[in-house]
A and B are shown apart, each in its own frame.
Chain A
Amino acid sequence: MKILLVEDDRAVGEFIVSELADAGHECTHISDGENGLSAARSNDFDALVVDRMLPRLDGLELIRSLRAGGQLTPVLVLSALGDVDDRVQGLHCGADDYLVKPFAMAELLARLEILYRRAGQRLVDVPTRLCVEDLEMDLLSQEVRRAGELLGLQPREYRLLEYLMRNAGQVVTRAMLLEHVWGYHFDPQTNVIDVHVSRLRQKIDRGFTRPLLLTVRGAGYRLGGD
């Protein structure tokens, strides 16, 4: 994945560049808003990571100009401002995701990859059926089968699995699950998500030698893939 990072803090920038490189991505680092915007307009990138507070041109302004020009490259906003209002503002002006500093690298990576895949799917027809190996989900009848066998899922388990299947092979963090499956952005004090995931795991993996729902230590979960 080719990523453009617009971040004025050198230490943070260098750290992100090296981490993304380790994860196998190609990253260009630019440290001010104006140059960032012209680089982004070149349309050479798969995803943008943009800091909010930038010299010369504010991060949100950058995204607004970019979207006004019809550019659809997924953008993730980084910000030290974590208030709800800031988040809403960020998403409002065309950003696809919002991450509050400081963040764990695993969280940034997981979110970027999902943004990238989602952008790729945009052009494809809306699917009516999701498949991960021998696990199938019919989005119309809302039925889930593994190896042809019907699984009885609770509505929330269904939505959890749907999100995991739509992002199959990708690491999904707990915060992402809370945001997308439960629709709330909050900080759980305990591992509430883990309990839901392990219940779901019981239903889809029990009795099968190859587990599909995996825990990725220090990051989150992944459905399928290696």
Chain B
Amino acid sequence: MAKVVVDPITRIEGHLRIEVTEESGRITDAWASSTQFRGIEIILEGRDPRDAWAFTQRICGVCTVVHAITSCRAVEDALGIEVPPAGGLIRNLVHGMQTVQDHVIHFYHLHALDWVDVVSALDADPAGTAKLAASISPWPNNSATYFAEVQDRVRKFVQSGQLGIFTNGYWGHPAYKLPPEANLMAVAHYLEALDWQRDVIRVHTIFGGKNPHPNFLVGGMASAINLDGTGTINAESLTKVQDLIKRARAFVEQVYWPDLLAVASFYKDWAAIGGGVKNYISVGEYPDNGQWRDIDSMYLPRGVIFDRNLNEVLPYDQQKVKEYITSSWYDYKEGDKVALHPSKGETTPHYTGPQPPWTYIQDYDKYTWMKAPRYDDRPVEVGPLARMLVAYASGHSDVKEVVNDALGRLGVGPTALFSTLGRTAARGVETVLLARRLEYWFDALVARIKGGDTQTFNGDHWDPSTWPKSAQGYGFLEAARGALGHWVEIQDGAISHYQCVVPSTWNCSPRDVNGASGPYEAALTDNHPLVDPERPLEILRTIHSFDPCMACGVHVLDAEGHEVTQVRVNG
């Protein structure tokens, strides 16, 4: 049995170490270790709750809007602030575009090189690539001349001897299955997606002033609407937004989604690999009326699936969320065996690992900065797959249409979704649907403006003198990578307690008191190959299918002696 270490895991956000044991080409056990800790929540203590969005936003610069919006929701919940519908629609546009752009970047720039052999593209017949591309998409940039140019660049690049970011890639690994023509197509679109992602995200700049880290506001959005104004949201900026949404949708439908299906058709064996834990949660997202507490207005539904049972969607009860530290570098007052609800959360870091430099972390009982969240004492996967499964099982017509179409084209059944490939495909399904939905939200915003409703901000409780002496609240959101929750307590106008439970904490969670592994670890040991431990390409495939965001996962640190005694429970 061989011990295998992959550290750093690259093409993710943040710092992640994976260790596995391997025997006869199969992974027999796995450990996921998060190796960075920052501690944002204690920093928030004593500060103005209206500033919290900016602090929590800096938890992550990749999913750069999700913590900010969730923080605003939590503070608005605590202070009883309702966001005006136009402000809510702008948030949907900003968040929706974030998710669409993030998913496409993930596919091409973070995940594709696990499936696409750049060097093999040199052997492609550009005419064959053009034929392949034309057979799956009407995208105009599909000529043989174009693909020949790209191939020429690749050739010169390889010949230059300076491979830059492609140095030491696992090129030629037997697990790469795409024909050269498909590799060339994917490489060309990798390049196009670089321009596209830079372009479409300007929706954030229009409504929030910049990207990454656009600006938000408790009570709504700061970008005032005045069609006749300068320095406001006016006809010119709305036209730009509309155009960017169109461009986003065209690329998603004509490049990303066809590419994803084409690549997937060569890797159907990965529909039986890397499933992992069998439970899924979605907290629901995209309230059409701006009111996230009104779960009936959500485009994507809230719910829980246990044991992969698509015949039953259970209601989500946030009281069932608890976190273990049995395998994590923290102490609890009551010891390592108990689990705590986030409202009672303690985070007392206590490093017990080896002094660096170290060789193996798997030899230690505690091995990560991630806590282990559990729902009803079970490990749970969150993310696009969870959202699509909950929606599919809830009978969501848009989701069912696109999922069934994809399954039909690949010739696989719904159980194929419970896999590494299923995770990647579900992300594509969601992107297709959200790219469409952006137009719906844009039209709704324009209709409101036409009707004279331009209010983007509710200032009724902006002034701290209008706040109660003490208040508690929480906010939920479905981030690109899964279910996110912030809990806040405000005392005398300042934050007295703040806690986040984050998508990558769920997915990268270590073993709990029962020895149950989290989703990464479980996926790596679920029918999982590892042909060459020196070139662990298969590990990257499954880990990347989760789209890890480690800085998000590890940030928790709250002060001792601050227990929330009451948490408002909504739906």
Note whether A and B form a binding pair: no
B→A interface (CB under 8 Å): none
A→B interface (CB under 8 Å): none
